[in-house]
């Protein structure tokens, strides 16, 4: 068995796995009605979308999607892609993720971090600033009320600050590579020992 080749192959597989897990985390577990594209998130209402971007203007010009690196003031901007949506009342609620399924029977008030009552946005865009004091997982809930009174809510999950879960792939990779290096070292040092020559009397 060529341990060197095995180590290289395993490291490559780990990189691919880590990249895949990063993409999966970027999706935020939000389900089929939410997605990400670069640093821009979006919630989907059928084939129509509402774009969401987040910035921390006091710290950098970087635009974020579902991973905001630190606590503090965050500006979130919402762009309504469909002009018809500008006439529909839109409600926004951000809650702390209870890490259990949220249903229509869930009392959202104790979980609510920020809330904007339903109203139309004729300009097709709106923004707000909020001071996130605690790092953790959050859920953006966007509720659209259509002409017939039907309400539709879509969600997008995001996190503020580095959480333990976001570091799991990194720690797992370190442990995995460390194990391979140990196995390689142990395999390389199991050859037969050569006895030292005995000096002639």
Closest alpha carbon to 57 in 39, 41, 75: 75
CB atoms within 10 A of CB 61: 7
CA–CA dist 52, 140 (Å, integer): 10
pLDDT in tens, 3-60: 555 455 555 544 444 444 443 333 444 444 455 555 668 999 999 999 999 999 999 9
Query: Which residue ranges form the domains of the chain, and what is each CATH number?
Result: 30-163 (2.60.40.1930)
For residue 167, the 8-state DSSP code is H
Token pair listed for 190 = 């199991």
- State the pLDDT at residue 164: 54
Bigger pLDDT: 37 vs 114: 114
pLDDT in tens, 133-176: 999 999 999 999 999 999 999 999 999 997 554 445 554 566 66
Which helix (H) or strand (E) is 185 found in, with range? helix 164-188
pTM above 0.85, yes or no: no
- State the pLDDT at residue 180: 72
pLDDT in tens, 181-191: 766 666 676 65
């Amino acid at each position: 068995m060529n341990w060197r080749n095995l180590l290289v192959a395993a490291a490559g597989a780990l990189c691919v796995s880590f990249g895949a897990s990063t993409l999966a985390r970027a999706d935020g577990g939000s389900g089929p009605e939410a997605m990400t594209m670069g640093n821009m998130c979006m919630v989907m209402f059928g084939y129509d979308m509402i774009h969401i971007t987040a910035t921390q203007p006091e710290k950098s010009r970087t635009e974020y999607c579902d991973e905001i690196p630190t606590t503090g003031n965050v500006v979130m901007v919402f762009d309504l892609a469909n002009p018809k949506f500008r006439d529909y009342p839109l409600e926004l609620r951000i809650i702390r993720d209870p890490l259990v399924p949220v249903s229509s029977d869930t009392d959202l008030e104790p979980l609510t971090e920020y809330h904007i009552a339903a109203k139309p946005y004729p300009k097709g865009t709106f923004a707000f600033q909020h001071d996130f004091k605690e790092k953790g997982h959050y859920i953006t809930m966007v509720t659209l009320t259509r002409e017939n009174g039907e309400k539709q809510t879509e969600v997008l999950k995001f996190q503020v600050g580095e959480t333990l879960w976001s570091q799991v792939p990194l720690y797992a990779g370190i442990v995995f590579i460390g194990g391979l290096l140990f196995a390689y070292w142990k395999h390389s040092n199991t050859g037969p020992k050569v006895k030292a020559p005995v000096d002639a009397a």
